[in-house]
Structure 1
Amino acid sequence: MVEAATGGTYPDALQKYVLDPLGLENTSLPSEVALPEPFIHGYDLTGTDPMEDVTEGLAPGWAWASGGVVSTPADLNTFVRGYVSGELYSAEVRAEQQKLFIPGGESGPPGPGLNSASLSLFRYQTECGTVYGHTGNTVGYTQFIAASPDGTRSVTVSINLQRTDHSEDQAAFVFDALQRAELAGVCMALQG
């Protein structure tokens, strides 16, 4: 869709419309197996000890536009602030995103609070207030990013295990702890 809309390649559009305007110097779309350094190692605990380092078992380039972007927590905060505030697109697009949220819509795994989804935007209504952002995971990693409605406050929570709301046993305990950490991060961000 990006290539059809821009007439260029997805990597070029990502650079021109997102990375350059926000100054995201530590964010990239690798096309190789190797991750750009430095990077956080991801792990799998599904087997027995020792845990398996799966960092380079899945090339980010294989996920490409579906999650292949590699970034740092600082760049993630800059991105979510710019995205939620509307810095990357017009006021008309931002208004369309805010029109209709579908209850229960999530980016997977669910974020904290009541989740709902709109046009490429996810809303998390929590006891501390409402934030907008995204969650995601892949082998070895689970992420949550969100910003206040005006984009002035943000939170990034990352763990180097893949955990979801479908996790069982100890993994479910870790996912519950992750959601508590996400909520604590939202509360701290919104309370300043």
Structure 2
Amino acid sequence: MPHSSARLRRGAVVAVATGTLMVPLAGTPAGAAPASAPAVFAAGSPSPSPSAPDVRALTPDVARQLDTAVQNVMREANVPGVTVGIWTPDRGSYVSSFGIADKGNGLRMTPNLYMRIGSETKTFTVTALLQLADQGKVGLDDPIGKYVDGVPNGDTITLRQLAGMRSGLFNYSEDDDFYKALTSDPQRSFTPQQLLDYSFKHPVLFQPGQKFSYCNTNLILLGLVVEKESGQQLGDYIHQHILAPAGMQSTLFPTGAEFPAPHAQGYTDQTADGKVGDTADWNPSWGWAAGAMISKQDDLRVWARTVATGQFPDGRRMIGPAMQKQRLITPATPIPGAGYGLGIFDVQGWIGHNGSLPGYESLTVYLPSAQATMVVLLNTDINHDDEEPSTLFGQEITQIISPDHVFNLPAEPAAR
């Protein structure tokens, strides 16, 4: 099995983040200019504000530092293209794209491209669950066996433990047969039950609630709960009750391999032969409630604040304050500096989620103390020295803009 399979099998993962990247790779000139949209920042240099003490003013000088840092990561990690957006209420903004979106036709990376967002899907699925819990249609401390038959330990694993990655179930995307099935036919469609079958043939890893273990199986089960208790297909529910009220018109839950244009091509080494391949036409049904969704930078800018506050842009509540408070209880994980709540993490104060699936990675986070948003989208998931490029971008960017809140998401312990 190719060495890269471990990343796919974890789904969306965390990775070791290291220090400053400096070594240019062959074929990319040092100091290359942005490939497309230049950095955008507010006119003038905002003065320090008590309402945003944890993020530097995004001045032209800071924008140049960000340009350099992003390009350094690209060269070191061999990332074809990336878009970065940072927004604050009164300290400026920065939006810039670099590199190539499609090696085949030379399309440049720009902020308006559709991208696959992988495990950021989890934040939407869990939001749907929390809405149903707010309505009394489900209880977070109900056992999953109340809704789905045949789950190992189904009479004791709660919906809360599933959403918080503390169920003890085996992650179906770590199953060898699943990996072979996907990489041998990336266009095939998987049903939720097929995904669960890959998981349930394995013994549980630990008793419910004993520890944290990131697991895509948990979200497949929660997706089924949402469908059963709402009477709607998961994608339809998310569109009607989350995306439409948020005004997120460029975000969708695909039913197959559809991918609106314009979109970036994705590049991965998680292929049957281990060679780098194109993935835009891969069917994301294998991720379903855990990782199938598509979005754009502007929509994710909206989502970062919405999911972190529980409030739609127009002021309406997406979920109630009490439920949102529960969501943001982020118990410690084996990852230093990182806690994980109900479908959402907190890394050094940055709240949100990352995403990774073959060919694409994403990072959408919000820093409440500064009301700052950061979105990073890129068109590869190929690790650099066992480090995820999205994490490298997040760390290098936050070292500049929020040195007291550096987004460093180290790897989980090897035993998983």
* Range of TM-score over shorter length: 0.7 to 0.9
Task: Specify the SS of the correspondent of 1:177.
Answer: helix
Select the residue among 284, 287, 301 that pairs with 1:60: 284
Deviation sequence 1:26-51 (CA, Å, 0-9, x none): 11111132311111211125799x95
1:183 paired residue number: 398
Structure 1 or 2: more strand by fraction: 1
Letter in 2 for 1:122: F
Query: Aligned ranges for residues 97-176 of structure 1 at < 5 Å?
Result: 97-98=327-328, 100-104=329-333, 114-125=337-348, 130-149=349-368, 152-163=371-382, 167=383, 169=385, 172=387, 174=389
Q: What is the distance in 2 between the residues matched to 1:186 and 1:63?
A: 33
Q: 1:105 to 1:30 in 2, by over 3 A?
A: farther
2:255 paired residue number: 31
Deviation at 1:122, TM superposition (A): 0.6
Q: 1:73 to 1:185 in 2, by over 3 A?
A: farther
Asked if the contact 1:142/1:160 (under 8 Å) is kept, the reply is yes
Deviation sequence 1:118-153 (CA, Å, 0-9, x none): 11221011xxxx121001200011111101227942
Letter in 2 for 1:95: K
Asked if the contact 1:81/1:151 (under 8 Å) is kept, the reply is no
Does 2:307 align with 1:96?
A: no
2:141 paired residue number: none
Q: What is the distance in 2 between the residues matched to 1:46 and 1:4?
A: 34
Letter in 2 for 1:97: R
Task: Specify the SS of the correspondent of 1:162.
Answer: coil
Letter in 1 for 2:398: L
Q: 1:186 to 1:24 in 2, by over 3 A?
A: farther
Q: What is the distance in 1 between the residues matched to 2:334 and 2:242?
A: 25
1:109 paired residue number: none
Asked if the contact 1:140/1:160 (under 8 Å) is kept, the reply is yes
Task: Specify the SS of the correspondent of 1:79.
Answer: helix
Asked if the contact 2:378/2:390 (under 8 Å) is kept, the reply is no
Does 2:227 align with 1:3?
A: yes
Letter in 1 for 2:278: D
Structure 1: 5+ residue stretches without partners = 107-112
Q: What is the distance in 1 between the residues matched to 2:387 and 2:367?
A: 28
Asked if the contact 2:366/2:372 (under 8 Å) is kept, the reply is yes
Asked if the contact 1:44/1:139 (under 8 Å) is kept, the reply is yes
Task: Specify the SS of the correspondent of 1:34.
Answer: coil
TM-score, with structure 2 as normaliser = 0.37
Does 2:302 align with 1:78?
A: yes
Does 2:265 align with 1:41?
A: yes
Letter in 1 for 2:337: L
Deviation at 1:183, TM superposition (A): 2.8
Deviation at 1:80, TM superposition (A): 1.6
Deviation sequence 1:62-112 (CA, Å, 0-9, x none): 4222211100111111112111111121101111123x3221267xxxxxx
Q: 1:177 to 1:118 in 2, by over 3 A?
A: closer
Answer with 1 or 2: which has the greater Rg: 2
* RMSD of Structure 2 on Structure 1 (CA): 3.0
Runs ≥4 in structure 1, deviation > 6 angstroms? none
State percent identity of aligned pairs. Answer: 21
Does 2:248 align with 1:15?
A: no
Asked if the contact 1:154/1:186 (under 8 Å) is kept, the reply is no
